[in-house]
């Protein structure tokens, strides 16, 4: 407690030095935390469709375990086979492709969903204008995309190489990298040459039935398919996206770690160097080295804790402000991300605190007798 109090008082004694240190640490950690939040936001955007379809089980071509950058084709006879599996309440086929949607001067990548009329699942979940059920020759597009393109309901968009009339606008269907567009099942099939295939079958299970059990039953009874619960399918998609970004995040984490370490180590070095005389006095009056070590470590811990708190605050503020700027990005700050940053901060505090220990150990108590050290 004595060491902690000394550390706090010493830090408070030099508010500018403390502020500079905390700012440096916060900046370095914000770098990693914000990047993590951005990737999490992107992953959230990419899994938004899966998370909101309302399907308990996704049935796909054998081996297909996510949406992003894959193609899944099943003969349409599979739909009836799936319906026949005990525990299945309804089975809705959808067609899916990654394509471009263009409107006005804007064009973007989109998950294009071919949706059967009256589909109980698989359609848009938040319609802000028009209808969520695309009719022949129509398309439902993301509202943010439409805003950027300067179009609205009744306007024209090009999807899958065909011109379509915008019949509805949705929200929550856009991310930094893509959006979701809905076209009639028949239009999609016609654009793809009319082959009697579906991409996925979205299944709702009977009340009381376990989705995992129904998925297993589907795989057992229907050949050539993979059946996964909605949550497992979403997790697979998220994992793929995060795996793709893991290297970048790891690099940024590393950079943030090194920058934070340098900032804290430098600040502590300056603090220790600047207080050598006081440390000498403490030694002269009988303080053991461990008290001095604890003081330095406590200073490090306080600086880093404050830096982590500021970094979390800045990132949380970004998560609120960025979506309001019109950018199709919703940074998401997660507890896991905060915990990882705190762990990085802890490692920084420990290493930066240990570095000056050699200096502290070699402080000569006799310097307390030298004139002009630190008269107070």
**Binding interface with other proteins (CB under 8 A):** 1-2, 6, 9-10, 12-13, 277-278, 281-288, 291, 365-366, 368-369, 371-376
Q: How far is the CB of 11 from other proteins (least distance, A)?
A: 9
Which phi and psi (to 5°) does residue 64 adopt? -85, 120
Q: How far is the CB of 278 from other proteins (least distance, A)?
A: 6
Cβ contacts of residue 351 below 8 Å, gap of 6+? 261, 265
CA distances from 319 to 179, 302, 339 (A): 19, 26, 17
* Nearest Cα to Cα of residue 161 among 134, 187, 133, 180: 187
The Cα 310–Cα 184 span in angstroms is 49
Q: Helix axis angle, 289-321 relative to 2-13, nearest 10°?
A: 60
Specify the residue, 220 or 361, whose C-beta has the smaller distance to other proteins: 361
CA distances from 211 to 122, 233, 243 (A): 17, 12, 26
Strand boundaries in the chain, DSSP class E: 57-61, 74-75, 88-103, 106-115, 127-130, 138-142, 156-159, 162-170, 179-184, 197-198, 200-205, 225-229
Specify the residue, 8 or 102, whose C-beta has the smaller distance to other proteins: 8
Q: How far is the CB of 17 from other proteins (least distance, A)?
A: 12
Residue 174 is classified by DSSP as: B
Token pair, residue 6, equals 């000394």
Q: How far is the CB of 300 from other proteins (least distance, A)?
A: 17
Specify the residue, 120 or 365, whose C-beta has the smaller distance to other proteins: 365
Specify the residue, 80 or 369, whose C-beta has the smaller distance to other proteins: 369
Specify the residue, 12 or 136, whose C-beta has the smaller distance to other proteins: 12
Specify the residue, 208 or 286, whose C-beta has the smaller distance to other proteins: 286
Q: How far is the CB of 362 from other proteins (least distance, A)?
A: 13
Q: How far is the CB of 293 from other proteins (least distance, A)?
A: 13
């Amino acid at each position: 407690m004595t060491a902690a109090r000394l550390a706090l008082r010493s830090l408070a004694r030099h508010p500018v030095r403390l502020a500079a240190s905390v700012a440096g640490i916060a900046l370095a950690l914000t770098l990693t935390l914000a990047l993590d939040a951005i990737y999490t936001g992107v992953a959230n955007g990419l899994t938004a469709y899966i998370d909101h379809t309302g399907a308990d089980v996704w049935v796909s071509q054998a081996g297909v375990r996510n949406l992003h950058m894959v193609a899944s084709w099943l003969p349409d006879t599979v739909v009836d086979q799936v319906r026949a599996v005990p525990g299945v309440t309804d089975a809705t086929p959808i067609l899916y492709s990654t394509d471009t949607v263009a409107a006005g001067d804007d064009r973007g990548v989109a998950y294009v969903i071919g949706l059967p009329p009256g589909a109980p699942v698989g359609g848009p979940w938040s319609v802000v204008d028009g209808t969520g059920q695309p009719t022949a020759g129509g398309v439902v597009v993301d509202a943010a995309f439409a805003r950027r393109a300067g179009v609205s309901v009744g306007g024209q968009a090009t999807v899958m190489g065909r011109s379509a009339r915008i019949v509805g606008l949705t929200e929550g269907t856009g991310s930094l990298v893509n959006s979701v567009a809905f076209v009639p099942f028949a239009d999609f099939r016609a654009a793809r040459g009319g082959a009697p295939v579906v991409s996925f079958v979205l299944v709702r299970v009977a009340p009381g039935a376990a989705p995992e059990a129904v998925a297993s039953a589907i795989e057992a009874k229907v050949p050539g398919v993979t059946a996964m619960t909605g949550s497992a399918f979403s997790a697979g998609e998220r994992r793929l996206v995060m795996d793709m970004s893991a290297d970048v995040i790891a690099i940024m984490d590393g950079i943030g770690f090194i920058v934070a370490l340098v900032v804290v180590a430098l600040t502590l070095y300056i603090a220790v160097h600047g207080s050598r005389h006081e440390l000498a006095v403490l030694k002269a009056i009988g303080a053991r080295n461990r008290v001095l070590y604890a003081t330095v470590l406590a200073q490090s811990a306080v600086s880093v804790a404050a830096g982590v708190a500021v970094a979390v605050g800045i990132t949380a503020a970004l998560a609120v402000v960025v979506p309001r700027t019109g950018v199709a990005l919703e940074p998401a700050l997660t507890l896991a991300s905060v915990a990882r940053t705190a762990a990085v901060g802890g490692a920084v505090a420990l290493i930066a605190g240990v570095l000056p220990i050699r200096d502290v150990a070699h402080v000569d108590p006799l310097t307390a007798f030298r004139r002009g050290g630190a008269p107070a």
